[in-house]
Chains A and B, each alone.
Chain A
Amino acid sequence: MIELYNISKSFGKQEVLNRVNAKFHQGKVNFVMGRSGSGKSVMTKCTVGLLEPDSGHVLFDGRNFTAMSLNERTQIRKEIGMLFQGSALFDSMTVAENVMFPLKMFSQMSEADMLERVKYCLRRVELEESDNKLPSELSGGMQKRVGIARAISMNPKYLFCDEPNSGLDPQTAIVIDNLIVDITKEYNMTTVVISHDMNSVIEASDTIHFLHQGQVAWAGDNNEMMSASSDTLNDFVYASKLMQKMRS
C-alpha cells in the first residue's frame, strides 16, 4: 500500500498541491483523475521522489519514503515500475535493450536469464516480434506496451502509469487498460494510474481519487462515483455528451 499524508507542493507563489491525503491499495488499480492542471502529475512526481514535497510524507508499505536518504530511496525505487505519458523509451536502444536495461543495471542474472525475462515481458505485452525494432519504428500504442514491459521487467511491487492512454485510439486504449488491470492482479501490485480519460476510469479502476485545485475533492470506487453528489466531481465526470447520455 502507498499512503500520502498532507502532501503540499508549490512552485513559487503557485500552490499546486494542498495537503493531499490518499491511500493506494495493493492488488488494485488506483486511479487519480482530475482536470488538466489539477496537480495529478505533480502528485505522482512527489510520490516517487522526482519532486520534493514542501510538506507531508509518503509511505511505501509503512516505509517513510520522504524521510529516507538517497541510498535508501534507491532501494525503494528498484521496487517501482513507471509508465510515462510519452513512454520515455531510450531512443538509442532497441525494444529488447529497453526492457533489459533495468535488469542489466540491477540484477545479478546471467545474460541468458535476462534474455528469457525480456522475452517473457515482451510476450506478456504481445510484442515478442518487435524486439529488434527501435522505439521510433513503433506506433504510440506499441511504445506504451514496451513501456509496460520495461516497467514490469524487475517484478515491481508498485506500478505508476501517467496518462497511459493519452494520444491513443479507443481500441488501443482498452488494450492498454486491460493490460494494466491484468498485470496488477497477476503480480498483486499497488498500481496508481493518472488519467482524465473517463472511459479508462470506468473500464479499469478499483479505487478513484478525484483531484481538484490541488486537493482530493472526492475518493471512492467506480459505482460510488456514478452516483456521487459532489458537484465538482459530477461536472468533471459528466462533461462529455456520452457520459450525460449514460447518466440519463
Chain B
Amino acid sequence: MRAIFHIGRYTKFLRSVLRRPDKWSMFRKLLVQEMSIIGIDSIGIVVLLASFMGAVMCLQTAHQVGGWIPVYTIGFTVRQTTILEFSPTLIPIILAGKVGSNIASQLGTMRVTEQIDALEIMGVNSAGHLVLPKIIAGFICIPILVIISMFLGIAAGALIAFLTGVSSMTDYQYGVQVDFKTYDVIYALIKTSVFALIMTSVSSYHGYYTEGGALDVARSSTKAVVYSAVIIMISNLVLTQILL
C-alpha cells in the first residue's frame, strides 16, 4: 500500500514539475545555476573516479591476460566495461550520492522552513519552479559527465598500461578500436539520460515531501540516495534487456 501511495504521489509530483514555467527568464537563470551545481561542481569527482577505475580495470585485465588471450584484450575490455557499464551506471550512482543528497537536503530544508509554502502562497508552482531546472540540468549535464568519464577511463587505462608495461600502446590502441560499435555509446547515453531523470526526480521527490525538522531532512537525504541507487540498478537491468 505504501509503495502504491508513493508511486501515485510521485506521478502527481512529476505532473506538477513538468508544467510550463511561470516565468521563462527566471527558469533560465535557475537552469544555469543548477547546471553549475550538478555539472561543473561534479567534474572533479568524475575525473578522479573515471581515471582510477580505468587504471584499475587495465591492471585487472592485464592480470588475466596470458597464454592464448591476446594482449589487445586489455584495451578492448577497458573500453567495453567503461562504455557499457562503468560510465553510464556507476557515475550516475556516485552522482546520486553527491547531487541527489544535495537536492534532497536543499528542498527538504526549504520545506521545513516554509520556503516552499511561501512560494505556493505567492501563486508560484513550487514543484515546477524548484525541480524542473534540476531535472533539465541533470538531463544535460550528466550525459556530458559520462562522456568525459568514458574518455578519461580509457585514457587512464592507456597511461597505466604504458607506465607499467603490461601492454604496448599499439596493442592497447588496437584493442580500444577493435569491433567498436557506435550503438554501444548510444545505448550508454540512453541509459544515462534515464538514470539522470531518475536521480534528479527521485531525490527531488524525497526532499519536496519532507515533513518535520532537521532529522527528517537528513532522513530524506538518505532515502533520496538509497532509492535513487536502487531504482537505477533495477532500471539498468530492464534497459539492458530491452536495448541490447
Contacts and interface: CB of A to CB of B under 8 A. Distances in A.
Interface of A: 45, 48-50, 73-75, 77-78, 80, 82, 84-86, 88-91, 101-102, 104-106, 154, 160
B114 A88 contact: yes
Contacts of B25: 104
A84 B117 contact: yes
B22 interface: yes
Given A78-B123, A105-B124, A84 B118 contact: yes
A60 to B, nearest CB: 13
A105 B25 CA distance: 9
Contacts of B115: 88-91
B121 A48 contact: yes
Given A85-B114, A88-B115, A78 B122 contact: yes
Nearest to B116: A88
The prevalent SS among residues of A at the interface is mixed
Nearest to B23: A105
A105 B114 contact: no
A80 B121 contact: yes
Given A50-B120, A75-B123, A86-B114, 12 more contacts: A50-B121, A77-B123, A78-B123, A86-B113, A88-B114, A88-B115, A88-B118, A89-B115, A90-B118, A91-B115, A105-B122, A106-B122
B121 A104 contact: no
A175 B26 CA distance: 34
16 contacts: A50-B121, A73-B123, A77-B120, A77-B121, A77-B122, A77-B123, A80-B121, A84-B114, A84-B117, A86-B113, A88-B118, A89-B115, A91-B113, A105-B22, A105-B122, A105-B123
Contacts of A101: 122
Nearest to A48: B121
Contacts of B124: 105
A86 B114 CA distance: 8
B123 A106 contact: yes
Given A74-B123, A77-B123, A82 B26 contact: no
Contacts of A75: 123
A88 B26 contact: no
Nearest to A80: B121
B26 A104 contact: yes
B87 to A, nearest CB: 32
B14 to A, nearest CB: 16
A192 to B, nearest CB: 13
Contacts of A82: 118, 121
A75 B122 CA distance: 9
A91 B114 CA distance: 11
Most buried by A among B115, B117, B118, B124: B118
Interface in B21-55: 22-23, 25-26
Closest 5 CB pairs of A and B: A77-B123, A88-B114, A88-B118, A74-B123, A82-B121
Which among B23, B25, B115 has the greatest number of chain A C-beta atoms within 10 A?
B115
Contact of B23 (A73, A104, A154): A104
Contacts of A106: 22-23, 122-123
Nearest to A79: B123
Contacts of A50: 117, 120-121
Contacts of A90: 115, 118
Contacts of B118: 82, 84, 88, 90
B81 to A, nearest CB: 40
Nearest to B122: A102
Nearest to A101: B122
A237 B74 CA distance: 82
Nearest to A150: B118
A105 B22 CA distance: 7
A160 B117 CA distance: 13
A48 B23 CA distance: 23
A74 B124 CA distance: 8
A106 B114 CA distance: 20
Instruction: With a 10 A CB-CB cut-off, give which of A48, A49, A80, A102 has the most chain B CB atoms.
Output: A102
Interface in B92-125: 113-115, 117-118, 120-124
Contacts of A88: 113-115, 117-118
Nearest to B123: A77
A105 B124 CA distance: 8
